[in-house]
Amino acid sequence: MRLTPCRDTSIAVKVVRRAVELGVNHIDTAAFYFSPGGILDVGDGPVRYAAELIRAALTPYPRGLVLATKVGPVALPSGEWTVAETAAQLRAQVEENLRRLGVDRLDVVNLRLTRRGGSVAERWAALAEMRQEGLIRHLGLSNATLDQVDEASAIAPVVGVQNSFALDLRRDHDLVRECAARGIAFVPFFAIAGPRREAGATTDHDEAVRKVAAAHGATPQQVRLAWTLHQGPNVLAIPGTGSEEHLIENVAAGGLRLTAGDLAALS
């Protein structure tokens, strides 16, 4: 999501390549991550979508790399948004992702729900059918409740739940534990941004965060990421950035080991 606002796509391509060089093997994108500024150019032709930037940066894709994408929301030419509700609309988004990423099968497709609550059965069944066809390897949910996970699981396996979750945004604390018990990955977004959400990383940090950061010689943002990863062995992190400097800091946060005292202070 943070790649497409950059007008200089060579920077975005460099960031993606550097991530893989640093050992990142899970890249998150979406059918609806596109440049609001219009058509960009990566040298090999015009692009507009994050998936196209990823393809330009990484093809041929290295072995072991997992590309996860999301379907659901749809950006209209008018700039307004709607939601893919029917099987045909979801199939169009899946096929669009296959083309833009340049793959025969999508590793993970997350159904991005625009509201928490309500039935997911019809849309999930449509995606499950595409999984049976071999277009998708695994299915996940995004912005979901436990009830929605239960409903989907009765139709086809849920490999991951991708929800907003952070040190100061913990409404899904119990869901993290439940996913761990079921062997489901929990993939929090806004781990650094917290309540600021799309506005990006905050510079207003709690004093406890600052103290823990100082004790470890780390940044507050790294502490927020490390806290997220300490929530369970099933927890991944997908911090977005268009900056190589921030990318390196984010990856380094994976090696930050918080003590029991640190975690108590942060809680």
> Residue 62 gets which letter from DSSP?
P
**Cα distances (angstroms) measured from residue 24 to each of 19, 64, 158:** 5, 10, 22
Q: Which residue has the tokens 């609309």?
A: 89
Q: How many residues does the chain have?
A: 267
Q: Which residues are catalytic?
A: 33
Q: Which residue has the tokens 């929990």?
A: 186
Contact 152, 124 (CB under 8 A): yes
d(CA 142, CA 244): 27
For CA atoms 23, 245, 42, 54, the dihedral sign is positive
* Amino acid in the structure at residue 249: E
Residue 133: strand, helix, or coil? helix
